[in-house]
Homo-oligomer: A and B are copies of this chain.
Amino acid sequence: MSEALSNGGRNMFLGEYSYTIDHKKRLAIPSKFRKELGKKAIVTRGLDNSLVVYPAEEWEKLAKNLGNLPSSQTEARGFVRIMLSGAAEVNFDKLGRVLIPDYLKEYSSLRKNAVIIGLYNRIEIWSEENWQSYKARTEKEVGNIAERLKELGI
């Protein structure tokens, strides 16, 4: 499995992990991620029926930016509302698990099996089924990775 990478003093999240949510809504966060998250983190609604977890500081920055969005961008404003209103502060129990509120579980179709992926400066939580189908679909669509990488100058 992967881990949090050092990046100029900052660490980043990478990799894909599978966990189960028990009947008490507890979900384990990969230990490598936990170290980066500190004591508390923010969970909220994300794109494509995922949930997003931000370290507290990241969230501060993001929330500030979101609030300052030009009101001309109406669609963006809609999503911002969803994100902000869905935000929940989660804290870890001694074993590094968080509680996922019901409305977020529902939003992301989380049942028993969850997948947690690291995305550089944030973490996403997916239901197993959603992630598998999304991954398969996207791997196909993304297709020519080489082309893309070239565009990125790699």
Contacts and interface: CB of A to CB of B under 8 A. Distances in A.
A72 B3 CA distance: 26
Q: Copy number of this protein in the oligomer?
A: 2
B82 A146 contact: no
Interface residues of A, number: 67
B88 A3 contact: yes
A44 to B, nearest CB: 9
Given A15-B85, A88-B2, A63 B120 contact: yes
Interface of A: 1-5, 7-8, 12, 14-16, 42, 45-48, 56, 58-63, 65-67, 71-72, 75-90, 99, 101-103, 117-121, 124, 134-135, 138-139, 141-142, 145-146, 148-149, 152-154
